[in-house]
Amino acid sequence: MGLPTLEFSDSYLDSPDFRERLQCHEIELERTNKFIKELIKDGSLLIGALRNLSMAVQKFSQSLQDFQFECIGDAETDDEISIAQSLKEFARLLITVEEERRRLIQNANDVLIAPLEKFRKEQIGAAKDGKKKFDKESEKYYSILDKHLNLSAKKKESHLQEADTQIDREHQNFYEASLEYVFKIQEVQERKKFEFVEPLLSFLQGLFTFYHEGYELAQEFAPYKQQLQFNLQNVRLYLFSPHLLMMIIVQLSHSQARPWSRSKLI
- Distance from C-alpha of 104 to C-alpha of 209, rounded to nearest angstrom: 9
CA dihedral defined by 203, 205, 211, 212, rounded to 10 degrees? -160
pLDDT at res. 32: 95
For residue 183, the Cα-to-chain-centroid distance in whole angstroms is: 31
> Tens digits of per-residue pLDDT, 220-261?
999 999 999 998 888 887 776 665 556 555 666 665 545 544
Give SS3 for 159: helix
Tell me how far CA of residue 102 lies from CA of 61, 98, 146, 230, 265, in angstroms.
Answer: 15, 6, 64, 33, 49
Say if CB 54 and CB 105 are below 8 A apart: yes
> Tens digits of per-residue pLDDT, 160-207?
677 678 888 888 999 999 999 999 999 999 999 999 999 999 999 999
Domains and CATH numbers, the chain: 9-180+190-265 (1.20.1270.60)
pLDDT at res. 203: 95
For residue 105, the Cα-to-chain-centroid distance in whole angstroms is: 10
> Tens digits of per-residue pLDDT, 125-158?
999 999 999 999 999 988 888 877 765 555 556 6
pLDDT at res. 159: 61
> Tens digits of per-residue pLDDT, 41-89?
999 999 999 999 999 999 999 999 988 877 776 667 888 888 888 999 9
Say if CB 217 and CB 101 are below 8 A apart: no
What secondary structure, in 3-state letters, does 168-233 show? Answer: HHHHHHHHHHHHHHHHHHHHHHHHHHHHHHHHHHHHHHHHHHHHHHHHHHHHHHHHHHHHHHHHHH
**Residue 57 CB partners (closer than 8 Å, separation 6+):** 94, 97, 98, 101
pLDDT at res. 238: 74
Give SS3 for 13: helix
